[in-house]
């Protein structure tokens, strides 16, 4: 008898699911029964279990992702995306902007402004760079008020400098010698 095996005196149930002798679809679960088995299509698939096809959740439910999000059918499921850099919040079924400023990307007293999927640092005086990580040396950058021919510039810290006239020259604070 099909579904059982033995020597004629003793019979035991064959587990077609374990033995791989079932004819369930690749997208179905096989469940062993006494003397038989049955097939059930996996989540996201529909059919008899012996033949299963993908369910297009996006077509079946126009509001599968909620307002403002795009629905993309995938094998056995679907994905929601926002397409504009915002992230999809599965629980709220909506696209939300992530405030990147919360992580504090701006260093050295820089202030952060958030936009959709972007952030921007406005650096404090004396700092520059994407994260305000680079100190500006006004003496090297030429951004100082020292006499360009007769004075020396000394970098004192972020955005700060001092001017001193060269030996043999004098003037007010080295700005004019």
How do residues 123-173 score in pLDDT, each as one tens digit? 998 899 999 999 888 888 677 889 989 999 998 888 788 999 999 999 888
Rounded Cα–Cα distance for residues 4 and 15 (Å): 9
0.75 exceeded by pTM: no
| C-beta of residue 144 within 8 angstroms of C-beta of residue 153 | yes
Rounded Cα–Cα distance for residues 83 and 117 (Å): 11
Q: How many helices (H) and strands (E) in the chain? A: 3, 16
Question: In the prediction, which pLDDT does 1 show?
Answer: 40
Name the DSSP class of 122: E
How do residues 13-39 score in pLDDT, each as one tens digit? 888 899 888 999 999 999 998 888 999
Question: In the prediction, which pLDDT does 84 show?
Answer: 74
Is 78's pLDDT higher than 90?
Answer: yes
């Amino acid at each position: 008898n099909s579904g059982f095996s033995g020597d004629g005196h003793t019979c035991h149930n064959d587990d077609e699911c374990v033995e791989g002798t079932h004819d369930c679809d690749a997208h179905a679960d096989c469940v062993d029964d006494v003397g038989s088995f049955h097939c059930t299509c996996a989540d996201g698939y529909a059919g008899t279990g012996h033949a299963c096809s993908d369910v297009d959740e996006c077509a079946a439910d126009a509001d599968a992702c909620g307002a403002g999000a795009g629905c993309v059918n995938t094998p056995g499921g679907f994905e929601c995306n926002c397409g504009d850099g915002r992230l999809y919040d599965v629980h709220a079924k909506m696209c939300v902007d992530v405030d990147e400023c919360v992580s504090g990307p701006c260093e050295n007293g820089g202030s952060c402004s958030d936009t959709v999927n972007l952030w921007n640092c406005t650096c404090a005086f004396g700092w520059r760079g994407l994260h305000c990580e680079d100190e500006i040396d006004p003496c090297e950058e030429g951004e100082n008020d020292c006499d360009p021919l007769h004075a020396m510039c000394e970098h004192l810290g972020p955005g700060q400098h001092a001017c001193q006239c060269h030996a043999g020259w004098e003037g007010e604070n080295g700005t004019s010698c």
